[in-house]
Chain A
């Protein structure tokens, strides 16, 4: 068997075992290991297992992943999301689709304190969904708008998923995080516009709020936005004031939100300190298990020559750049239907990253593009993690079918976002270029 054959068999073995329910980190690691045995020998493959784990999990700048996660959990306990939703409702509530607009705006803003798409979707389901349904919103539409709004948290820094991309592709994590800011804002505006248009076309889906807020109430509600701005101000102040490096900023954010949560909940009991730490380490272990599996699998693909062969076909094969971009996009949309975002990145990047860089795309731009694609995958059936967690947090308020059934306008909106990224790559590259 040639090395290339072994490589392609490995790709099929990986997809097959994932479809048959293997934990994705086990599938990646096991196929990578078995493939390396076939390509070299048992001792060599074993030595890679021996060294790879320590070399990844002792990387100082990877400490931002647990710090970002910790920060997000503390921000939640600090009530930052609830306050934002309250304030946004008072300002946007009377517009068509007002509550959905408010939850999207608040989720985007909350994204500046939380790095987790799923965490944000869970939080806003609890905050906003019952009220939307009480006010006569279409259940599916309301739930779908929250599922997509959750994805904004991984475009806007902090973002654990951006760090995952940075680790898997050896790119500058600091620049990646900055690169996501403008696309995150643009995407939130697109989602807001989508909600607005759907609500105007079909007011039954999202009846306007009939509560009247005085200007006093509105202005007074702004004080609730204070904690978030305080977090952002301290982070930026710490970075530009020469106190913290970007890598250390996650530690600072966690500390600030920790204090806020402690003040808000009046003590450690209220912030469920132990549970918060446990949630953080479980997520951290889950993410790193996939990253390490993905890196091992990438080594196997590189040694087998599959990465090189695919790259040769796509880069030098006479395809137009746009054909390749379209193929890469479709691959992500298909794989994204089946798996969660970190797994999707770990499985695909060993192949797609060298191809796109070979075609002359900027690694930062591709990072943001792939994150948008991965987040589309987070809402699409059959495996749409954000829809699952919205359903999970909503209990009997909505069915999974209702959520999936209402996704169409948001998926169209996402395609619009992809088109904007392709036509105006500067929205991802302009800010990091200033660094």
Chain B
């Protein structure tokens, strides 16, 4: 605009992202959102993403947005199960039957229809802008798991509140370990398996050290939400708000498109090169063993208790649980 001399002062939004810029569908979709924002606002609204946690590490992002260090960023909700109890419903339910797309749509629907979701974010001056559901999870293993009994005694990397219970229900050993260590640990048999989606397998090159992807109906998983400082959002013009609001669904569509393309590409590559064998285990057997575990059930029940304590009505909490499971 300075070239034409009109000098309309564009609004610049600072987006802090803990992921590195290179090579993930999340950041590709973020870059798409940046371009789209500029286009839809006709240059009136500009977003600058600083990647790689330079402005805030993953643990600092909500506080950095709350205090206006940055205007927006990716909030990895599973890292904050006690701060964002309500928005953390999904990680308590493993296994569950929902796909990546269904979880993304569910989260958007909850935010639209159940005020407790937005209120919890607003308490920390955050507002939902977009969602990043994860693809369906499975297990990447360095030895074949052909029956459920094969899980017995296997060391499997887990994280979060619900995965350890599910893994232990299978008779396996749950191992806590940073994600960046998974490659080495799989290569020298410290781990037998790691929970992962296939894009994650590719990102950490786990297929080089683990040749078996065990397809079990764990369901997709939750990742991040993109949030903006509420004051910053309020300071935007009506037109700018409209542009930002329009991203919600479109960003999800783009993210899912990128994931589907990547998944198809990887699956074709695995099949044609034989680099990874996908082993499908009987779904009903898997669900019976895992859902039959009292520990798994206890973790699921705990979310409802926590959500009600955090200010949700029992009916709303019940609806969320049903939305996830049915």
Contact = CB atoms under 8 A, between A and B. Distances in A.
Nearest to B190: A242
A242 B20 CA distance: 29
A47 B180 contact: no
A71 B222 CA distance: 40
B271 interface: no
B190 A48 contact: no
Contact of B20 (A170, A240, A246): A170
Contacts of A246: 181, 184
B60 interface: yes
A302 interface: yes
A54 B59 contact: yes
B55 A299 contact: yes
B178 A61 contact: yes
A47 B180 CA distance: 28
A182 B185 CA distance: 24
Interface stretch (A37-45, A124-132, A405-413): A37-45
Contact of B190 (A40, A50, A52, A243): A243
Given A245-B181, A298-B54, A303-B55, A48 B60 contact: yes
Contacts, number: 72
Nearest to B209: A435
Contacts of A426: none
A364 to B, nearest CB: 15
Nearest to B58: A55
B66 A47 contact: yes
B50 interface: yes
Q: At the interface, is chain B mostly helix, strand, loop or mixed?
A: loop
Contact of B54 (A239, A244, A302): A302
A348 interface: no
B54 A50 contact: no
Contact of B60 (A41, A55, A245): A55
B69 A44 contact: yes
Interface string B168-192: 0000000001101100110011100
Nearest to A51: B60
Given A44-B69, A51-B60, A174 B184 contact: yes
B53 interface: yes
A41 B69 CA distance: 8
Given A241-B188, A245-B184, A247-B181, A48 B57 contact: no
Contacts of A298: 54
Nearest to A173: B180
Interface in A260-310: 298-299, 302-303
Contacts of A56: 57
Contacts of A51: 56, 59-60, 63-64
Nearest to A172: B180
A322 interface: no
Contacts of B184: 174, 239, 245-246
Contacts of A170: 20, 52-53
Given A47-B66, A245-B190, A302-B55, 7 more contacts: A43-B68, A44-B64, A48-B67, A55-B57, A61-B178, A245-B177, A302-B50
Across chains A and B, which 7 residue pairs bring their CB atoms closest together, nearest first? A47-B67, A242-B189, A51-B60, A242-B188, A55-B59, A44-B69, A44-B67
